[in-house]
């Protein structure tokens, strides 16, 4: 009897799985989705593209995945090609969204829905949904990490600090910066944080295209112009692991050594190299953004616009792109340092233990 029951249960399970998959495939059946990613020069976007492609293909969509090597015009051409080749939905992580306004209008006029992936598409009404992480929240998390780790919160200081921000054409860079300064500005005001270079303005501290080389150069200039002869930098705010590598290289060049007067350096993306640098002490912290979850949320948005289903949305007020407020799903960023790195990155299956060695 028991055996019979389990056979019936198993058959039901198999039937519902087959039926479910068949139903999804029928809706998706060969519909073309264009996925435009900014660059392969950083590990996260490679993972994002791979996750999106795999998840969409598993549902029966045909995916045209393109990377633009941070070349704004190349991304415009890729999107034009996707439209010409019959894409029925576009998923876009933009390089400079202002350059996309015309091609997005073209998509809209042909009834092709657009989903903004990680980076908001600004100044357009041609975007249906936005899947991202809480970008201001990331800045807040970075600020709070510094506040707690250094003891600023308990009255310690003064500490010398320098700031780096992301690319000025990326809305995320502005939001992160705002969240971070909201936490740390009071300490600059009270003198517990001292920005020796006095460079705190976004336009001065930003890093076009989030470039590691640009960051390294700026850090070299900051060190040679403001530090040395007994004056050391204690904290460097970095909004991206790639920028943190540039900062670390400049510090090494100026004679700083891990373990002695090496400053606290933040980051973002939990890249494998950053994780290794955190273990070795070359970087202090990063922000873990689980791109698997982001891709999952984005796929539900693709299904919504192509199949008429309802995607999960958890923010309908924050992301005003100067034309419309884009309904968004914000994933939660997690601060990672040497104390929780293995638990977060290995425990979640993002990396294997062997990869970190
Ligand atoms: C993303 C970050 C990434 C940065 C540089 C931002 O738009 O939100 O995760 O570090 O771009 O690629």
Confidence at residue 3, expressed as pLDDT on a 0 to 100 scale: 57
**Is 240 a pocket residue for ligand 1 (Cβ < 6 Å)?**
yes
Residue 54 scores a pLDDT above 50: yes
**Is 210 a pocket residue for ligand 1 (Cβ < 6 Å)?**
yes
d(CA 29, CA 27): 6
More confident residue, 27 or 301: 301
Mean pLDDT of the chain: 93
CA dihedral for 51, 339, 185, 254, sign (positive or negative): negative
**Is 169 a pocket residue for ligand 1 (Cβ < 6 Å)?**
no
> In a mutational test of the pocket of ligand 1, which residue from 172, 270, 290, 298 has the highest number of ligand atoms less than 8 Å from its CB?
172
What distance in angstroms lies between residue 17's CA and the mean position of ligand 1's atoms?
Answer: 37
145 pLDDT band (50/70/90 cuts)? very high
- pTM, 2 dp: 0.92
| Class at the top of the CATH hierarchy for domain 22-127+290-330 | alpha beta
Listed by start position, the domains of the chain span 22-127+290-330, 135-288
- What count of other Cβ atoms lies within 10 Å of the Cβ of residue 111? 7
**Is 136 a pocket residue for ligand 1 (Cβ < 6 Å)?**
no
Q: What is the pLDDT of residues 98-135, one digit of tens each?
A: 999 999 999 999 999 999 999 999 999 999 999 999 99
What distance in angstroms lies between residue 354's CA and the mean position of ligand 1's atoms?
Answer: 26
**Is 119 a pocket residue for ligand 1 (Cβ < 6 Å)?**
yes
With a pLDDT cut of 70, the percent of the chain lying above it is: 93
What distance in angstroms lies between residue 4's CA and the mean position of ligand 1's atoms?
Answer: 54
Confidence at residue 12, expressed as pLDDT on a 0 to 100 scale: 45
What distance in angstroms lies between residue 301's CA and the mean position of ligand 1's atoms?
Answer: 21
Q: For residues 265 and 190, is the Cβ–Cβ distance under 8 A? A: no
Confidence at residue 11, expressed as pLDDT on a 0 to 100 scale: 52
Q: Do domains 22-127+290-330 and 135-288 have the same CATH topology?
A: yes
d(CA 307, CA 311): 11
Which ligand 1 atom is the nearest neighbour of the CA of 289?
9
- Stated as kind and residue range, the H or E segment containing 89 is strand 89-92
Residue 18 scores a pLDDT above 80: no
CATH code at 135-288:
3.40.50.2300
Q: What is the pLDDT of residues 56-101, one digit of tens each?
A: 999 999 999 999 999 999 999 999 999 999 999 999 999 999 999 9
What distance in angstroms lies between residue 308's CA and the mean position of ligand 1's atoms?
Answer: 30
Q: How far apart are the first and last CA of the chain?
A: 52
């Amino acid at each position: 009897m028991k055996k019979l029951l389990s056979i019936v249960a198993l058959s039901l399970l198999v039937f519902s799985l087959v039926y479910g998959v068949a139903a999804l495939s029928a809706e998706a059946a060969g519909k073309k989705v264009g996925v435009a990613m900014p660059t392969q020069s950083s590990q996260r976007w490679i993972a994002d593209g791979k996750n999106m492609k795999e998840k969409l293909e598993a549902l029966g969509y045909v995916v045209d995945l393109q990377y633009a090597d941070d070349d704004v015009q190349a991304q415009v051409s890729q999107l034009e090609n996707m439209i010409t080749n019959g894409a029925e939905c576009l998923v876009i992580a933009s390089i400079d969204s202002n350059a996309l306004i015309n091609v997005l209008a073209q998509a809209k006029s042909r009834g092709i829905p657009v989903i903004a992936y990680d980076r908001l598409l600004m100044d357009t009404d041609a975007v249906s949904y936005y899947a991202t992480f809480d970008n201001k929240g990331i800045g807040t998390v970075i600020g709070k990490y510094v506040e707690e780790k250094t003891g600023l919160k308990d009255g310690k200081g003064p500490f010398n600090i320098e700031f780096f921000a992301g690319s000025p054409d990326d809305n995320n860079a502005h939001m992160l910066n705002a969240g971070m300064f909201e936490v740390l500005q009071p300490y600059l005001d009270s003198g517990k944080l001292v920005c020796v270079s006095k460079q705190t303005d976004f336009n001065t501290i930003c890093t076009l295209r989030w470039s590691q080389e640009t960051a390294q150069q700026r850090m070299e200039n900051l060190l040679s112009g403001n530090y040395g002869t007994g004056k050391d930098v204690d904290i460097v705010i970095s909004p991206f692991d790639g920028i943190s590598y540039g900062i670390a290289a400049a510090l090494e060049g100026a004679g700083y050594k891990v373990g002695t007067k090496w400053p606290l350096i933040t980051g973002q993306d939990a890249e494998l190299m950053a994780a290794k640098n955190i273990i070795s002490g070359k970087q202090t912290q990063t922000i873990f953004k689980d791109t698997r979850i982001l891709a999952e949320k984005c796929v539900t948005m693709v299904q919504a616009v192509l199949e008429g289903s309802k995607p999960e949305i958890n923010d309908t007020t924050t992301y005003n792109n100067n034309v419309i407020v884009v309904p968004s799903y914000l994933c939660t960023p997690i601060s990672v340092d040497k104390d929780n790195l293995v638990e977060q990155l290995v425990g979640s299956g993002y990396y294997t233990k062997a990869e970190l060695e």
